[in-house]
Amino acid sequence: MNGLALSPRFRLSLSSIAVGLLLLGALVVGLAYGLRSGLLMVVGGLLGMVLYHAAFGFTAAWRVFISERRGRGLRAQMVMLAIAVVLFFPALSAGSLFGLSVFGFVAPIGVSVVVGAFIFGLGMQLGGGCASGTLFTAGGGNARMLITLLFFIVGSLIGSAHFAWWQSLPAFRPTSLVTELGAGGGIAVSLALFAAIAALTVVMERRRHGQLEQAPRVDVGNRRWLTGPWPLLAGAVALALLNFVTLALAGRPWGITSAFALWGAKGFEFLGGDVSAWGYWQSPGNAAALQASVWSDITTVMNVGIMLGALMAASLAGRFAPNFRIPAKSVLAAVIGGVMLGYGARLAFGCNIGAYFSGIASGSLHGWVWLVAGFAGNMVGVKLRPLFFEGEVSRQPVAKGS
């Protein structure tokens, strides 16, 4: 038996419960912490639905390109980033959006970012997902990803304990293309880089396979928008738009992993520990989050929304079928990968969302450094996967004629 078979009636009931919890949670959070927080929980739900129905993953897209030189997923990411910078840069340059002060995720470029992104990239392949991937697959009923998520939180807590030491290592000042080149110049440079990466994937894919992989034909009519699947490019566009909505509501871009560190710290203190002396928790923002209710944290609210949105999508698609028979080696990979994901994200000022997607959308050069180091970590992770997953062979694709 591959999973827990659920009847159509039960799946419909489950989707209704997920929608009800999402709307009830948004209402309660909105009443307690403001309308914007409540709306952001709904945005999280939409993100979860998009991620699930479009199967928009970073881990699988990078693995397929590394092992098979298929670049369709990477090209979709470049489309997502291109739309994001066109939307973000003018708002960040102006400093406000619809009357709300906004800022981007701009971080220093140093040893911690390079090491952290590399560790995170390796963890992506062992854990089986990135930050967004872990949330939406766990919410969609993947039991193994619950293990990855648990140890993602553990790794985030450990990373926050070591954060101050890593930040003492050499680093360049935070640099933003928006600040250095202006909105127009930053957009031009960014679009040129996205086009170059997309072109490189095209060249490498054609060299390996002779032609580009055709996207699966997806019927977008009738109820398909509700039950999925969605075209990959539709997911790319939707994620960029929803990140911009996040900027408009929260005043900053979409992030995920800071909440994991907060959850880990709250849990550690519940068990009798004390994190207040750790450097990470002495910054004003993090110290305030530690003292406040976890539900006042915007990232937490959105993460819960993502999981509920993915649960709703999986139920409506008829694919919610948790499988609790997980091989021991796969469990071990989830544990190791989860810790690496959490630890790496803290060192690198974010994950594939906060540092890569939102960092580049903010014009931060650390997002580009994260991309390079994270991709290198994925290359090593792909090599190590056969040690944990049966049937996989570690190989680098060979170009035709070579």
| 3-class secondary structure, 30 | helix
| Residue scoring higher pLDDT (45 or 6) | 45
Cis peptide before 229 (omega within 30 of 0): yes
Q: Could you tell me if residue 401 is inside a domain?
A: no
Q: What is the DSSP string of 228-282?
A: ----HHHHHHHHHHHHHHHHHHHSS----HHHHHHHHHHHHHHTT---TTSGGGG
Q: Could you tell me if residue 127 is inside a domain?
A: yes
- Please give the pLDDT value at position 393: 59
Give the other-Cβ count within 10 Å of 392's Cβ.
13
Q: Could you tell me if residue 103 is inside a domain?
A: yes
State the pTM of this model.
0.93
Could you give the CA distance from residue 249 to residue 254 in angstroms, rounded to a whole number? 10
Q: Could you tell me if residue 87 is inside a domain?
A: yes
List the domain range (segments joined by +) for residue 41. Answer: 8-215+225-387
- Please give the pLDDT value at position 220: 59
When divided into structural domains, the chain yields a total of 1
Q: Could you tell me if residue 394 is inside a domain?
A: no
In the structure, what pLDDT confidence band is assigned to residue 8 with cuts at 50, 70 and 90?
A: low
Quick one: average pLDDT of 364-376? 98
Q: What is the DSSP string of 157-201?
A: HHHHHHHHHHHTS-EEPP-BHHHHHHHHHHHHHHHHHHHHHHHHH
**135's tokens:** 């949330």
Q: Could you tell me if residue 396 is inside a domain?
A: no
Range with the poorest average pLDDT among 4-13, 36-45, 189-198: 4-13
| pLDDT of 3 above 70 | no
Q: Could you tell me if residue 70 is inside a domain?
A: yes
- Please give the pLDDT value at position 226: 78
pLDDT in tens, 59-115: 999 999 999 999 999 999 999 999 999 999 999 999 999 999 999 999 999 999 999
- Please give the pLDDT value at position 2: 44
- Please give the pLDDT value at position 399: 33
Q: Are 359 and 120 in contact (CB under 8 A)?
A: no
In the structure, what pLDDT confidence band is assigned to residue 397 with cuts at 50, 70 and 90?
A: very low
Rg for the chain, CA atoms, rounded: 20
Q: Could you tell me if residue 3 is inside a domain?
A: no
| pLDDT of 394 above 90 | no
Quick one: average pLDDT of 142-161? 97
Q: Give percent above pLDDT 70 in the chain.
A: 93
